[in-house]
Structure 1
Amino acid sequence: MAESYKEIMNDIDTFIFDVDGVLTDSSVHVSQNGEMLRIMNIRDGFAMKAAIESGYNVCIISGGNNEGVRIRLRNLGITDIHLASPNKVETFKEYTELYNINPEKVLYMGDDIPDYHVMQLVGLPTCPQDAVAEIKAISKYISHKNGGKGAVREVIEQVMKVQGKWHLYYNGKHD
């Protein structure tokens, strides 16, 4: 019998997220000078920071490249930020080998075809509610929230609750 996503959440120690369509709603606002601006959810940011402060690994792997995104993520305490990644599988393998991370203990959230192959390598492939059909088909958990609208917060909070760490965090008892 296949494990439920809640059972898999017990073992998660690493979160990896795509940017566009996961941390954002897939929209790009283009300024007059051609700069592409994205909107990110504050609650997603809070949850990523809580995960880091609670001892989880948090990594970003994205095909997009935007310095504003990098600055935002660094300000949350994320140090493993891989933007303009031409091959997400290769980046994923390098990251997990560098930190000796077991892929079965990784939750990856993606939303579109560039995430497909890397999602097949992790223990808990997840996606936002508005992900494309191919990604939903391989996800063990589909968030009730859309990308950029709290999907990241939802999965982090669920993992931390399953592991008994969420209440410690919001009660100020985290390390």
Structure 2
Amino acid sequence: MEKSYKEFLSQITTFIFDVDGVLTDGSIQISSNGDLLRTMDIKDGYAMKYARDKGYTICIISGGKNEGVRLRLKGLGITDIYLGCPDKVEQMKEFFEVYDINPEEVLYMGDDLPDLYAMKKVGLPCCPQDAAPEIKEISRYVSHKKGGKGCVRDVIEQVLKVQGKWNDHK
């Protein structure tokens, strides 16, 4: 019998998140000068900063290139931000080598086909409630929250609670 996703939570040291459809709801607004605007959930941001402050490694790998996204994530203390990534698997491998990360200790949350192969290479592939069917099929956990609506907070909170690091204020 396959292990429940909860059995993987205690081994997670690293989080990898996609942007569009995970940190955002996947929609964009287009300004009159052509800028593409996205909305992120403040609770997702808080959870990422909290996890970072607790010593977890957080990596962002996205096909999008929005510099506003980079500024927001840098403001949360995230330094491993890879935007405009055509090959997420290759970028992830490089990230693992730099930090000597064991893929079994990684939670990757993606929502659509560009995340598929990278998600297959980690210990805990997860997705938002509104992810593509192919992504839901390979995910060990499907959040009850949609992309951009707290799904990142959901998985971070679960991992930190299991590891006794949520709400310990140390």
The two structures have a TM-score, normalised by structure 1, of 0.96
**Residue 167 (structure 1) shift:** 2.6
Are 2:133 and 1:130 aligned? no
Instruction: Name stretches of at least 5 consecutive residues in structure 2 with no aligned partner.
Output: none
Matches within 5 A, 1:85-164: 85-164=85-164
Deviation digits for residues 119-173 of structure 1 (CA, Å, limit 9, x no counterpart):
00000000000001000000000000000000000000000001111031xxx22
**Alignment correspondent of 1:11:** 11
SS of 1:107's equivalent in the other structure is strand
The two structures have a TM-score, normalised by structure 2, of 0.99
In 1, distance between residues paired with 2:153 and 2:65? 23
In 1, distance between residues paired with 2:136 and 2:66? 26
The list of structure 1 runs, each at least 4 consecutive aligned residues, that deviate by more than 3 angstroms after superposition, is none
Q: Count residues in correspondence.
A: 170
**Residue 38 (structure 1) shift:** 0.2
Q: Percent identity?
A: 66
SS of 1:81's equivalent in the other structure is strand
SS of 2:167's equivalent in the other structure is helix
Quick one: which amino acid aligns to residue 165 of structure 2?
Answer: K
**Residue 118 (structure 1) shift:** 0.1
**Residue 2 (structure 1) shift:** 1.9
In 2, distance between residues paired with 1:29 and 1:65? 15
**Residue 25 (structure 1) shift:** 0.2
SS of 1:73's equivalent in the other structure is helix
**Alignment correspondent of 1:38:** 38
SS of 1:167's equivalent in the other structure is coil
Quick one: which amino acid aligns to residue 158 of structure 2?
Answer: Q
In 2, distance between residues paired with 1:2 and 1:147? 26
Instruction: Name stretches of at least 5 consecutive residues in structure 1 with no aligned partner.
Output: none
